[in-house]
Structure formats: structure tokens, C-alpha cells
């Protein structure tokens, strides 16, 4: 285990007295250890059975009522929940920190599936702005289109939209994978820090603007590149990874990944080499 207390190397910013916190670089990354799996759980999560299935009609419920009922059903061991009549309501399915097979028969409004960690979600409709914001792990599949800020600040998991998405997809993302079957709007990958975005269609202006790190793959036309976003070589391992991901995502089965463009950070604006506080805490 890394011992950050022994790290004495000072950054230029520290030498200038701008902060006193001991910062470390990517060499201090701590990877998940399967032997320690039992230590990774959230308080208040439930042991659910995926074969235990139920429906929940939320037509006459508010979003908090619907979310509370989902929690209640998980507490009863239901591992597969089908939500009927979401009708574009906002903030449905937020804060699920549990293994769960969740299916929405319809469309969601803003902030659907925000701050989740673990569920497998299929939305048979459209989603509004900021779908799956801060997703930590799991898989969210949208069968139709998505609004702006799709997958904002996600840290892990797979977020898949089979249709087209609005502007600022993957803004500030710090991990995970976003896959778009159609087109994407302006500022896709804006300030992304880690993770990967795959767009099979066209993408709007300012792609990857001010991105720190991470990778964007584009199958169609690019409106324009943002600041510090540059082309990179598409390697054979990239292509293998793309094929695997598209297969898992159930889209682009016959898509020719060899013709995709790969965009990365030019790192002229780069000032990013530190673990996040939570990662640092885990490493300590």
C-alpha cells in the first residue's frame, strides 16, 4: 500500500506557498483488490434477488415518493423493478447504491439516475438533462435520445445512449465510458479528466474543449476541435477495445471502428496530476 506520509516531493505550487497539502502523482494510484471486496459496501444497501421481479406505476407519484418506493422494494429483496409511466418526471432513480436491475417503461426528465453506484438500468424512452450525473459504477442504457450534460462528472460505469445527445456530453467526467449511437452536440467532453467517450455519429463544435485527459472516439464528422483537443493515433488495441465495448453496448455491431478518429488532450493547458480527495483517502 502506498504510504503518502513518506512522500516528500514538493510541487512548484507548494514551494510557492499556494497550499500545504501533500499532493501526489499518478504513480500513487491504488487499484481495486478483489481480496478486499467485502470491505466495499454502502451502509443501508440490500441483498436483492434479480429473479424477484415487480412493477411500480409512478404515474401518480412525485419523484421522492417513487424513489422511496424503489428503496422499499429493494429492502424486500426485489432485484428487478419495472417502472411504469415515468412520463418525463425529474430525478427518478437517483441515489441507488445497490445492485439492481431497473427498467423504465418510458421517458425520464432531468437528473434521472443521478449519483448511482451499481445498478443496471434500461430506459425505454428518452432522458432529459444531466442523466446519470456522477455515476460511480453500473450500466445505464437509453433506447432513444438524451438531453444535454449527459453523463456529467461520471466516475465509472457504462452510460449508453442509442440515439442522439445534446450539448456538453461527458462534461467534467472522471472515469467510465459514454457511448453514443447517434450524434452529439457542442462541447462534448468539455473539461473531461478521465474516461472514454465513443460517438458513432457526428459531433458538434468545440469537441473536447479544455480536456485534461481521457479519450474521445468519433465515427462521424467533427464540427470543430476545442482548446487543447488534438488527434491521436488509433492503435490496434484501441480498435479491439472499441469492438468489445460496442458489442457490450449492443450498438454499432457492423460499425467499422478502424475509421474512427481518436481525440486526446494536447496537454498544453495541462495542470492536472493529482488524485481526488476520496482516492487519496482510500490510498492512505
Partner 1 sequence: MCGIAGLIHRGKSSNVGSELQGMLQALKHRGEDSTGYALYGDTDGKHFIMRFKVGENVGEGSSSVMEDVSVYDERKKIVDQTLAELGAKVVKEERTLPYSLRYEIDYDVKDLLNFSQTIESIPGVEILSMGKSLEVIKDLGNAKAVCDRYSLDKLIGTHAIGHARMATESGVDIKSAHPFWGYPFSDVSVVHNGQLTNYWNNRRALENKGMRFMSECDSELIAVYIAQKMREGASLEEGMKDSLTGLDGVFTYFVATKDSLGMAKDTMAAKPLVLYESDDLVAMGSEEIAIRSVLPQEIDTYDPFDGEVKVWRI
204 binds partner 1 (CB under 8 A): yes
Q: Which of 177, 176, 147, 140 is nearest to 163 (CA)?
A: 147
Cα→Cα distances 279→48, 132, 146, 170, 191, Å = 28, 21, 30, 20, 20
Whether the Cβ atoms of residue 174 and residue 194 lie closer than 8 Å to each other:
yes
Q: Which residues pair with 230 in a beta bridge?
A: 264
Of 107 and 215, the one with the shorter C-beta distance to partner 1 is: 107
The correct pick among 107, 134, 177, 215 for binding partner 1 (CB under 8 A) is: 107
Strand runs (DSSP E) across 72-200, as ranges?
Answer: 78-84, 101-105, 117-123, 137-142, 158-161, 174-180, 194-199
166 binds partner 1 (CB under 8 A): yes
The correct pick among 79, 93, 106, 138 for binding partner 1 (CB under 8 A) is: 106
Give the binding range for partner 1 (CB under 8 A) out of 67-75, 120-128, 238-246, 247-255: 120-128
Q: How far apart are CA 131 and CA 256, in angstroms?
A: 28
Of 89 and 194, the one with the shorter C-beta distance to partner 1 is: 89
Give the binding range for partner 1 (CB under 8 A) out of 31-39, 67-75, 84-92, 258-266: 84-92
Alpha helical stretches, state H, the chain: 12-15, 63-75, 236-249, 277-283
Contacts of 231 (CB under 8 A, 6+ apart): 261, 262, 263
H or E stretch covering 261: strand 261-265
Within residues 55-74, the interface with partner 1 by CB under 8 A covers: none
**Cβ at position 243, least distance to partner 1 in Å:** 28
Of 144 and 243, the one with the shorter C-beta distance to partner 1 is: 144
Of 153 and 275, the one with the shorter C-beta distance to partner 1 is: 153
Give me the DSSP letters along 207-223.
Answer: BTTT--S-EEEESS-BS
163 binds partner 1 (CB under 8 A): yes
- Measured on CA atoms in the order 12, 15, 20, 23, is the torsion positive or negative? positive
The correct pick among 121, 142, 179, 186 for binding partner 1 (CB under 8 A) is: 186
167 binds partner 1 (CB under 8 A): yes
Q: Which residues pair with 179 in a beta bridge?
A: 160, 198
Q: Which residues pair with 160 in a beta bridge?
A: 141, 179
109 binds partner 1 (CB under 8 A): yes
Give the binding range for partner 1 (CB under 8 A) out of 47-55, 72-80, 125-133, 236-244: 125-133
Of 23 and 205, the one with the shorter C-beta distance to partner 1 is: 205
205 binds partner 1 (CB under 8 A): yes
**Cβ at position 227, least distance to partner 1 in Å:** 14
Sheet strands side by side (includes 229-232): 49-57, 78-84, 101-105, 117-123, 137-142, 158-161, 174-180, 194-199, 215-218, 261-265, 229-232
The correct pick among 126, 196, 245, 280 for binding partner 1 (CB under 8 A) is: 126
Of 86 and 176, the one with the shorter C-beta distance to partner 1 is: 86
The correct pick among 128, 175, 214, 219 for binding partner 1 (CB under 8 A) is: 128
- Where do contacts with partner 1 occur on this chain (CB under 8 A)? 87-90, 105-107, 109-110, 125-126, 128-129, 144-148, 163-168, 183, 185-187, 204-205
Amino acid at each position: 500500500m502506498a504510504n503518502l506520509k513518506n512522500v516528500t516531493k514538493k510541487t512548484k505550487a507548494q514551494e510557492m506557498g499556494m497550499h500545504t497539502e501533500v499532493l501526489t502523482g499518478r504513480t500513487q494510484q491504488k487499484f481495486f483488490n478483489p481480496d478486499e471486496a467485502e470491505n466495499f459496501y454502502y451502509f443501508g444497501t440490500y441483498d436483492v434477488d434479480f429473479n424477484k421481479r415487480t412493477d411500480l406505476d409512478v404515474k401518480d407519484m412525485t419523484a421522492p415518493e417513487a424513489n422511496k418506493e424503489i428503496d422499499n422494494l429493494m429492502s424486500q429483496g426485489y432485484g428487478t423493478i419495472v417502472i411504469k409511466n415515468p412520463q418525463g418526471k425529474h430525478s427518478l432513480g437517483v441515489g441507488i447504491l445497490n445492485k439492481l436491475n431497473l427498467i423504465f417503461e418510458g421517458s425520464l426528465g432531468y437528473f434521472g439516475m443521478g449519483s448511482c453506484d451499481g445498478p443496471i438500468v434500461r430506459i425505454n424512452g428518452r432522458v432529459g438533462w444531466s442523466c446519470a450525473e456522477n455515476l460511480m459504477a453500473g450500466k445505464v442504457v437509453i433506447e432513444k435520445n438524451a438531453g444535454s450534460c449527459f453523463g456529467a462528472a461520471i466516475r465509472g460505469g457504462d452510460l449508453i445512449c442509442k440515439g442522439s445527445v445534446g450539448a456538453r456530453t461527458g462534461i467534467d467526467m472522471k472515469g467510465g465510458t459514454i457511448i453514443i449511437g447517434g450524434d452529439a452536440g457542442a462541447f462534448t467532453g468539455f473539461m473531461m479528466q478521465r474516461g472514454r467517450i465513443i460517438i458513432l455519429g457526428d459531433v458538434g463544435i468545440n469537441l473536447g474543449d479544455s480536456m485534461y485527459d481521457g479519450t474521445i472516439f468519433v465515427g462521424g464528422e467533427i464540427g470543430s476541435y476545442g482548446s487543447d483537443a488534438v488527434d491521436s493515433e488509433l492503435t490496434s488495441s484501441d480498435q479491439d477495445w472499441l469492438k468489445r465495448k460496442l458489442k457490450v453496448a449492443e450498438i454499432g455491431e457492423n460499425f467499422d471502428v478502424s475509421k474512427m478518429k481518436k481525440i486526446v488532450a494536447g496537454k498544453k493547458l495541462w495542470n492536472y496530476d493529482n488524485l481526488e480527495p476520496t482516492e487519496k483517502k482510500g490510498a492512505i
